[in-house]
Structure formats: structure tokens, C-alpha cells
Amino acid sequence: MPLKNAHTQPHTSAPSWRWALLGLALLIAFLLPWPLSPLWIRIATEVIMWAGLAQSWNIIGGYTGYLSFGHGAFFGVGAYMTGIVMLHLGWPFALGLLISGIAAALMAVIIGYPTLRLRGAYFAIATWAFGEMIRQIATILEITGGAFGMQLPSYLNLPFFYYLFLLVTGLTYLTTYLLLERSPFGYKLLAIREHEEAAEMVGVDTVTIKIKAFALSAFFPGVLGGIYAYWVTYIHPDSVLGAQLTDFMVVMAFLGGIGSLWGPFLGAVVVQLVNRVLWLVWGEGTFYLIIIGAAICTVVLFIPSGIIGLLQSRIFLPGTAWKEIRKKVKW
Amino acid sequence: MLEVKQISVSYGLAPALWEVSLSVKDGKIVAIVGSNGAGKSTLMKAISGLIHPGEGTIEFDQRRIDHLPPHQVARMGIAHVPEGRRIFPHLTVIENLKMGVLPIKGQKRAQEILKNVFNLFPILAERQRQLGGTLSGGQQQMLAIGRGLMSDPKILLLDEPSLGLAPIIVDMVFEVIARLNSQGQTILLVEQNAFLSLEVAQYAYVLEVGRIVLEGEASKLIDDPHIKKAYLGE
């Protein structure tokens, strides 16, 4: 085995039919707004936003193995930053998005610097506390409009937001692919997730690498939050800083398969579609939470590699998935 | 090459090492012998930067390393093969080995080292696509040593390479240690198996409850009555 590709190719390269599939999916995504009604464009937009958020969480939670339970805060910070930039400073939306992303990433560095030195549950606890702190701050500050929130100028153009989310989410996946699946950086994260002490001993500067990964995983939610704020035009602490935001990112990533490129995408599609269909059928309610809870239990217990794991290894071998599950269940 | 001077380490209030000094010269195998809980692994961790001594200094190539983080120590040329192997279980053998390559080494050098590692451990070449966690204990130990070698270290720290291995595998591992040394590799070896390590080493220290109680030429220590009684079971 030649070592030619050491540090550049953690995995074997994708076969060409996968590229064809990807091209087809992109084409469908690009043409999607034409046949859809405004309601379904909104739903499709949400799905794409969530796909981006779940992937962002996956960078730190899946690839690095550090569970962030405050990731919603980066989305909220982004939403508020864009709001502040547009409303109070009168700067353009695009600049707001950039500032939102950078602010979220900077915040991740500040939070990560002390907490990513610790291992185990401390990071999870610290990020959870951080998320709660940001929500409280947004509730009392004047510049964020306190508990009432902020009203942004409205720009009613559904396809515009659809394509903007598509672009940013697309960039999230491209970045993940290039930096985490195809570079030494990805190898180092893998080493940290697999065995952190051993990673240190082979010369990986674990703290710096983890902080970089955390900042990267915060940047995109910041940008997505900014787009969201302009899209829905009205934001308040519960809508952009609520705990469900983080919960959904975690749930989607887990359901789809953490630490994989396409897992979070599949998870986001399934969860958000189920969520919206139930909403259409039964109206506003919390019933979908029960279904999602049951789905998560099933995934964690029986298919820890998520939907993507099922697709990759077993769906083409009929029956084996069930055999696998039956083996684990003691009747 | 490596000079440990009067280091003391404690875990909280519990002291683990008292004023331990040792030195490793270029091209030698130095063994640290001692029973369970003597502080051998603590000493290794202090050298590789995983813990920092409260007192004393550690110098490597005339540079102080006692307060450097582990990744910097590793980049200076100290490869620590930890106790209990600590390989990456969900990565393949070849991926585990690639992890050991430091970015500062060129591709060509990496190729040569890999060839050498496969020469030392042909089984790793055969199993390069297998997941690390599915190897036998002995093979995992070989993989851990191989990964350590991939960084082209100036000194190799081996912590209990015989731990939990069948006697025939232990002999094999020690043969490789001797072979590496004959190629010029400097090695600091920590072992409970006093007899084997004194046989392979040129110089040795005896560590008991955190202190160095004896040191000398390995060939002389083997005949020392205290050693015989305490470690060789005679």
C-alpha cells in the first residue's frame, strides 16, 4: 500500500455514480421552487436550513466527538447580529451575514478556549449553560429588543431565501467534504474522536484543532441565523434562541448518522418533513416530538450509525438489517 | 540525549515520584524496572508532556521540555508508545500507522519508515486493511510500536510492551526492540518483566514507590542480589 496519499485521503474516493447522483440532486434542488406552492417552498426552505444546521453541529458533535448542547445560541447570535446590523447600523444584509458568521465563530473560540481543554461531559455542560446565558442576555438587552424581539425590514421573496439557504447549506457540505473528509485536518479530528490521548502522543495539537473545529461549526449557524432573521422578519429570544433549536440539530444529526457527510442531511429531511406533515394534518401541537423521540430511541439502540449506516451497508443486502436488529434484541 | 533531573510529580496530594533523575544516551536502550505502582508510567507521561512535574527539569537535546504540551514534545522526536497500547480501534492498520506520521516529515521519508515498520512486523503489512480493534493483543502492541516509529523518533518510549501478552509474543516484541536498537534507535523501556528488560538493555534504573533505588549496567544489575530477590523470583 503506497503512502502517497497519507494525510490527504482519509477515505477512498467516491465512485462516479455518486457524483451523478449529487448532480441530479442539485438539479432537483435548483428547480424545486417552480412546481411548488408557496407553503411547500417554505417547507423546503426550512428543510434546507435544518440540513445546514445539522451538518454544522455534526462538525463538532459527530466528527470531533464533542457534544455541543448550546449550538442554537450561534444561530440566535447570527440572527440578532444581522438584525442589529440592518436595523441599527443600516448596513446591507450581505454584510450582516458575514458579521453574523464571524461573531458566532468568535464566540465559539471564546467558549471553546477554556472548555475544550476539558474532556467528557464538561464541554456539553458548558455549552448548554452558554446557550442559556445568551438567551437571558438577549432577553434583557435593549439593543436586541428584550423579550419583545426585533422587527426587521421585510423582503417578501420566497425563492430568494430558498436559494440563499441552498447556497449556504451547500457551502456547509462542501466545507465539510473538503476540510473533514479530504484533508489532514479531518484526520486529526478523527484521531481526537477515536482516542484523544493517543492523538496528542502522535503530535496532534488537540486543543487548537478542537477550537478550530468548534469555530467552524459555529460559523455556519451564525450565517444561517442571519438569513433566517431576514426571512421571517420578526425574531425574539424564544424563536431564535430556544432550546429546541439545539435539540433538533442533535436529533437530526443522530437520526441521519453522526460523523458522516450525508447523515445530517437525511436526518434533517426526515425530521423536518415529518414535523411539517404532522403539523399540516393535526395543526399546531407537540405530537411530533413523541414520534421523533421514539425514532431517536430506536436509532440509538439499534442502528447507532443512523439512516446513513443502514443505507451504506445493509439496504442492498435484503434481510441483513433485520437480522442485525434481531441479534441485539433479547426477546 | 534525554536528561531527567530531580523531578517530583504528585497527583493532587498523593506524591507519585520523588526527585527522580535519569539519563538516556544516544543509541542506547535504557530500562526502568519496577513493580506495579512504582511510578513507571507516571515517569513516562512526565517525559512525553501528558503531565508536568511539580519540581525538577527534563531536558531533551539540551532543551527543556518539562512544560511543553504533548504534541510539541512529540514533534521534537519523542514517541511515546503508551501502556495498554492505545491504538485507534476503529481505524484500519494502515490508517493507524499514517496517524503516526508527523507533517514535518516528507513523503519519501514516510515511505521508507513504513517499509521498515512492515519489515519489522510483516503481520501489519498483511493486515493493513483490518480495523485496529480487531487485532490480537500482540498485533495491537506491534501496531502501537509501529505507529510510534512512523514519526521517525529520536527516542522511543515503550511503556510495558509485554503487558498482557503471551510469552511467545513477548519474546518476539523484545527481539524487535533489540533489532531496532541495533539499527541505532534510542529506546527508553519501562517494564515489570525485569529479566527480559535487563537482558535487552545496556543500562537500567530500579524504581520503587516513586524513587530510584538502584541503577547501573544492566548486565550487572541482573546479578544483583536485591534485584534477584525482588524481581527475578530467586
The CA distance from B60 to the nearest CA of chain A, in Å, is 16
> What is the distance between the alpha carbons of residues B161 and B85, in angstroms, rounded to a whole number?
8
pLDDT for A321 equals 46
Over residues A24-37, mean pLDDT:
90
> What is the distance between the alpha carbons of residues B231 and B225, in angstroms, rounded to a whole number?
10
pLDDT for B225 equals 83
Is the pLDDT reported for residue A201 higher than 60?
yes
Give domain status of residue A2, yes or no: no
- Is B111 in the A-facing interface, judged by CB distances under 8 Å? yes
Q: What is the residue whose three cell numbers read 546479578?
A: B223
Phi, psi of B172 (to 5 degrees): -65, -45
Which residue numbers in chain B have pLDDT < 50?
none
**pLDDT tens sequence across A300-328:** 888 778 888 777 765 444 444 444 444 55
pLDDT for A230 equals 95
Per the CB < 8 A criterion, the answer to whether B20 and B4 are in contact is: yes
pLDDT for A327 equals 52
* Closest Cβ–Cβ partner in B74, B86, B128 for A203: B74
pLDDT for B233 equals 67
Higher pLDDT, A16 or B72: B72
Is the pLDDT reported for residue A12 higher than 70?
no
The verdict on a CB contact (< 8 Å) between A6 and B107 is yes
Contacts of A204 in chain B (CB under 8 A): 71
Q: Mean pLDDT, chain A, as a whole number? A: 86
CB contact residues (below 8 A), chain B span 75-104, against chain A: 75, 79-80, 82, 86-91, 94-95, 98-103
Overall size of chain A counted in residues:
331
Residue in chain A lying closest to B74 (CA): A203
- Is B172 in the A-facing interface, judged by CB distances under 8 Å? no
Whole-complex ipTM: 0.75
**How many structural domains does chain A have?**
1
**pLDDT tens sequence across B145-160:** 999 999 889 999 999 9
Give domain status of residue A297, yes or no: no
The CA distance from A183 to the nearest CA of chain B, in Å, is 12
Give domain status of residue A327, yes or no: no
**pLDDT tens sequence across B94-136:** 988 988 886 666 778 888 899 999 999 999 999 989 998 899 9
Question: A164: pLDDT confidence band, cut at 50, 70 and 90?
Answer: very high
Higher pLDDT, A2 or A59: A59
Q: Which residues pair with A234 in a beta bridge?
A: A151
CB pairs under 8 A between A and B: 73
Residue in chain A lying closest to B99 (CA): A202
Question: A225: pLDDT confidence band, cut at 50, 70 and 90?
Answer: very high
The CA distance from B4 to the nearest CA of chain A, in Å, is 19
The CA distance from B71 to the nearest CA of chain A, in Å, is 4
The verdict on a CB contact (< 8 Å) between A194 and B80 is no
Is the pLDDT reported for residue A5 higher than 60?
no
Give domain status of residue A213, yes or no: yes
Q: What is the residue whose three cell numbers read 436586541?
A: A144
Give domain status of residue A194, yes or no: yes
Q: What is the residue whose three cell numbers read 515511505?
A: B111
pTM equals 0.82
Give domain status of residue A21, yes or no: no
Over residues A279-298, mean pLDDT:
80
Give domain status of residue A279, yes or no: no
pLDDT for A234 equals 94
Domains located in chain B, CATH noted: 1-68+157-164+190-234 (3.40.50.300)
* Of B21, B81, B33, nearest in space to B201 by CA: B33
Over residues A196-225, mean pLDDT:
93
Cell of B63: 532543551
Over residues A239-255, mean pLDDT:
91
> What is the distance between the alpha carbons of residues B2 and A224, in angstroms, rounded to a whole number?
52
* Of A225, A260, A287, nearest in space to A78 by CA: A225
The verdict on a CB contact (< 8 Å) between A202 and B74 is yes
AA letter at B74: A
Instruction: Determine the Cα angle at A213 with ends A174 and A303, to 5°.
Output: 75
User: What percent of chain A has pLDDT above 70?
Assistant: 89
pLDDT for A316 equals 44
Higher pLDDT, A172 or B109: A172
pLDDT for A15 equals 66
Cell of B198: 535487563
Question: A236: pLDDT confidence band, cut at 50, 70 and 90?
Answer: very high
Question: A59: pLDDT confidence band, cut at 50, 70 and 90?
Answer: very high
**pLDDT tens sequence across A66-107:** 999 999 999 999 999 999 999 999 999 999 999 999 999 999
pLDDT for A14 equals 57
Give domain status of residue A114, yes or no: yes
* Residue A254 lies in domain: 31-265
Cell of A211: 477550537
The CA distance from A7 to the nearest CA of chain B, in Å, is 7
* Of A46, A48, A45, A56, nearest in space to A222 by CA: A56
Complete DSSP assignment for B108-145: HHHHHHHHHHHHH-HHHHHTTTSBGGGS-HHHHHHHHH
pLDDT for A278 equals 85
Is the pLDDT reported for residue A114 higher than 70?
yes
Is the pLDDT reported for residue A10 higher than 70?
no
